[in-house]
Structure 1
Amino acid sequence: MSRAATQLHHEQRLGETLREWLPNKLAPEGHSDFRILDLDAPDAGFSGQTVFFTASWTTPEGTPTSLELVLRMQSADHQLFTQPDALRQAAVMRALGHHRGVVTPKIVLEERDSAVLGAPFYLMARVHGRVPSDVPSWHKRGWTVELDAGDRQRMYDNALHALVSVHAIDDDATLSVLRDPAMQPGTCALQGYLDRLRTWYEDRRSELVVGADVLASAWAVLSSSAPDTGAEGVVWGDARVGNIAFSDDLSVAALFDWETASTGPPEIDLGWWLMFERYLCESLGFTRLAGVPDDEAIVRRYRELGGHVETDLGYYTILAAFVLSLITNRLARLLVQGGLDEQTARSYPTAAVTLVQRYLDEFSS
């Protein structure tokens, strides 16, 4: 069976399952004419499959109703992360979405039983908007390049404002959703983050395809030079422009990809934000587009918008590049298994490890 035929068969089976299982979960009692329309199930990603579709029905009163939905299913294999948990991500989005300035997709329902689709999943309302691309980099191609400098600046400012809103959340009920229940009492949030990272690093260390020595040096710095901070707030975990959907007016339509959300100082996210811009721009030989701020301007504007930076960000950019190196090393293995040539697959962790070394040099100078 060809790849296209296999994909079509997968979508047909998925549609049939949803038509049987979903009506009583979604539509009111007494409804009629339930349908699954426009189902699109792209090839599964490495952190879970995304499926787009519209569910429609007629209410008992005769009113046609439809919902545009996105299904996110936990990947059963090929993990980038050590402990995937789709339902935790749904709980995080549900908790964060109540806060002003933090726009997350509305969670419609969650299903823990793997017997339904083969893995836990959740449904959320589909958000229409434009998302800056990672591949190819939004700094080089795509709709962001077509904007004028003023619009890019406005887009970026809206993104930073959203990040500040995330970091402004401080109520314990929300933070409790993100805290690691296994963290020892009395452990500060940053140390808890580092403890989990150490476990992840040790689990992946034997599988590294690029940069084992550099990452060992980086871990020595990270474990011995952690800032003394008791700060605890929301850590997005993947805070970047490419995880934001923008409306036509360039306002923020949604913040997504909360798979690695946790708690800690906001510098964890800000370091990731700075590192990822460099990863998608200067590391690829590009120059930032007019209207896109450099690192110094990003930090300055973050502060102007109300964000707090208590310490030098050098440590946190090393931390970010280290985490990205673990992810991309794992990604390289999975891409090769999927048929991509090894040279191209290794280019992703190579760029990340190069950033680690660059940040280490800057930190020690």
Structure 2
Amino acid sequence: MRTTEQDLDELSRGLAAWLSGPLAANGPVSLTNVQVPEGGGLSSVTFLADAEWREGGRIRRRPIAARVAPENSSFPVFPEYDLRLQYDVMAAVARHGRVPVPPLIGIDATGRTLGSPFLVMDRMPGEKPGDNPPYVFGGWLYDASPDQRRAVQDATVDVLAGIHSLPEPATRLPALSTGGKDALRCHYDRTTAHYEWSRRSDGMRIPVLENAFAWLEERWPRDTGEPVLSWGDARPGNILYEDFAPRAVLDWEMAALGPREIDLGWYVFLHRFFQDIAESANVPGLPDFARRDDVVETYEDRTGYRVREFDWYLVYAAVRHGVVMSQIARRMIHFGELTPPEDPDGYILHHEALDRLVKGTYAWPTR
């Protein structure tokens, strides 16, 4: 699935020239083993490489990962890509948090070097569950033992708890401040604005999303708790694991302030999204992984926090993901990878599940 119209060789040449400064290299830097990670990166351009330069007559090598904001012509998934904010969030989590993030190398937020802003970090060892194809169809997590999968499930909850424990997130990350407004309302308003932005070129309304927005408004949570740092894209596919333990937490482009349940709902729903795809293909998938009751119970045990009105946040996760999926569908159409669906709801791969969630007929797995 394409995310850019830029040439990878051109990007790597420009990045190599820029890296001399951040790496404090005495001479030119070259990039070798340049590759795009398989099965990941649905919104921005991510590529991996080895940076090499000479120092004292010897070749130094440092594995790197670069994230480049997509150009406007490639139908980006989000209205804006604030890589400076992502960089600052990762830096704050590294300094004050309890979860592992890759060491940061540098950022060009101007876009002058490559034509788009980018950030560079160390490439960390480990592997993550795949997105494309989803990990429910096979791979190391699928092949793991039940105890090993449970270790990944619980460790992922621990990552969420660690992110949510970042002290004074609004002070440490003023760009995330809601200016005294309710954090959930601000988060929700950005989601509705994202939906309206996605309609800017075709004006198309998606009934299943608009019905769900109305449902969410009518059932607004009574008590949202103290806002915390919300990771945003909170799922195992954005974590590198070694020996079934987190080694690095990645992809902070959806970070914001908000209730803890935003991340918990996203984690649970995104697994069910993949599991529903597997079951529709008559593949067993991983029905016992990341079940809602297990995730909630583990989080409450780890933190002492009582999760509130979780059904609302599960619908909200499905809506947020629906907005993202509708824009990904538009981009696939733009690149000739998808025929436009006749029904607007067809732009949302999980439109049937979202409809059942709103109607209260979605069948969640039980223990």
TM-score, structure 2 length as denominator? Answer: 0.85
Asked whether the equivalents of residues 83 and 109 of structure 2 are also in contact (C-alpha less than 8 Å), the reply is no
Matched, 1:54 2:47: no
Report which stretch shifted further, 278-287 or 238-247. Answer: 278-287
Question: Quick one: which amino acid aligns to residue 49 of structure 1?
Answer: V
**1:273 aligned to 257, 267, 270, which one?**
267
Asked whether the equivalents of residues 152 and 290 of structure 1 are also in contact (C-alpha less than 8 Å), the reply is no
2:365 corresponds to which residue?
none
1:192 corresponds to which residue?
186
Gaps of 5+ in 2: 363-367
Asked whether the equivalents of residues 329 and 338 of structure 2 are also in contact (C-alpha less than 8 Å), the reply is no
2:31 corresponds to which residue?
36
Give the direction of change, closer, same or farther, for the CA distance of 1:176–1:148 in structure 2 (3 Å limit): same
Deviation at 1:59, TM superposition (A): 2.9
1:201 corresponds to which residue?
195
Asked whether the equivalents of residues 208 and 330 of structure 1 are also in contact (C-alpha less than 8 Å), the reply is no
Question: Quick one: which amino acid aligns to residue 258 of structure 1?
Answer: W
1:224 corresponds to which residue?
218
Asked whether the equivalents of residues 41 and 51 of structure 1 are also in contact (C-alpha less than 8 Å), the reply is yes
Asked whether the equivalents of residues 43 and 70 of structure 2 are also in contact (C-alpha less than 8 Å), the reply is yes
TM-score, structure 1 length as denominator? Answer: 0.86
Deviation at 1:232, TM superposition (A): 0.5
Question: Quick one: which amino acid aligns to residue 238 of structure 2?
Answer: N
Question: d(CA) in 2 for partners of 1:172 and 1:350?
Answer: 33
Deviation at 1:176, TM superposition (A): 2.6
Asked whether the equivalents of residues 206 and 345 of structure 2 are also in contact (C-alpha less than 8 Å), the reply is no
1:235 corresponds to which residue?
230
Matched, 1:108 2:105: yes
Deviation per CA, 1:188-236: give whole Å up to 9, x if none: 1111112222222223346689982222221112223221334210111
Deviation at 1:347, TM superposition (A): 9.4
Asked whether the equivalents of residues 154 and 250 of structure 1 are also in contact (C-alpha less than 8 Å), the reply is yes
Deviation at 1:291, TM superposition (A): 6.0
Matched, 1:320 2:317: yes
**2:255 aligned to 241, 255, 261, which one?**
261
2:62 corresponds to which residue?
67
1:97 corresponds to which residue?
94
Report which stretch shifted further, 33-42 or 119-128. Answer: 33-42
Report which stretch shifted further, 165-174 or 65-74. Answer: 165-174
Give the direction of change, closer, same or farther, for the CA distance of 1:115–1:295 in structure 2 (3 Å limit): same
Question: d(CA) in 2 for partners of 1:337 and 1:55?
Answer: 34
Asked whether the equivalents of residues 67 and 125 of structure 1 are also in contact (C-alpha less than 8 Å), the reply is yes
Give the direction of change, closer, same or farther, for the CA distance of 1:34–1:333 in structure 2 (3 Å limit): closer
Question: d(CA) in 2 for partners of 1:331 and 1:227?
Answer: 29
2:351 corresponds to which residue?
353
**2:301 aligned to 304, 308, 322, which one?**
304
Taking the TM superposition and a 5 Å limit, the aligned residue runs for 1:240-251 are 240-247=235-242, 249-251=243-245
Partner-residue secondary structure (3-state), 1:216: helix
Task: State the Cα RMSD in Å.
Answer: 3.1
Deviation at 1:171, TM superposition (A): 2.1
Deviation at 1:66, TM superposition (A): 1.8
Question: d(CA) in 1 for partners of 2:358 and 2:136?
Answer: 25
Deviation at 1:87, TM superposition (A): 2.1
Deviation per CA, 1:139-185: give whole Å up to 9, x if none: 221121221111111122211111111112232466534515xx4x4
Give the direction of change, closer, same or farther, for the CA distance of 1:250–1:223 in structure 2 (3 Å limit): same
2:83 corresponds to which residue?
86
Partner-residue secondary structure (3-state), 2:95: coil
1:330 corresponds to which residue?
327
Deviation at 1:252, TM superposition (A): 0.2
Deviation at 1:46, TM superposition (A): 5.1
Asked whether the equivalents of residues 149 and 289 of structure 1 are also in contact (C-alpha less than 8 Å), the reply is no
Give the direction of change, closer, same or farther, for the CA distance of 1:82–1:90 in structure 2 (3 Å limit): same
Give the direction of change, closer, same or farther, for the CA distance of 1:176–1:32 in structure 2 (3 Å limit): closer
Question: Quick one: which amino acid aligns to residue 57 of structure 1?
Answer: W
Asked whether the equivalents of residues 188 and 230 of structure 1 are also in contact (C-alpha less than 8 Å), the reply is no
Question: d(CA) in 1 for partners of 2:66 and 2:180?
Answer: 38
Report which stretch shifted further, 169-178 or 73-82. Answer: 169-178
Question: d(CA) in 2 for partners of 1:273 and 1:192?
Answer: 21
Give the direction of change, closer, same or farther, for the CA distance of 1:19–1:333 in structure 2 (3 Å limit): closer
Percentage of pairs with the same residue: 26
Question: d(CA) in 2 for partners of 1:307 and 1:280?
Answer: 29
Give the direction of change, closer, same or farther, for the CA distance of 1:222–1:101 in structure 2 (3 Å limit): same
Asked whether the equivalents of residues 164 and 306 of structure 1 are also in contact (C-alpha less than 8 Å), the reply is yes
Partner-residue secondary structure (3-state), 1:253: strand
Gaps of 5+ in 1: none
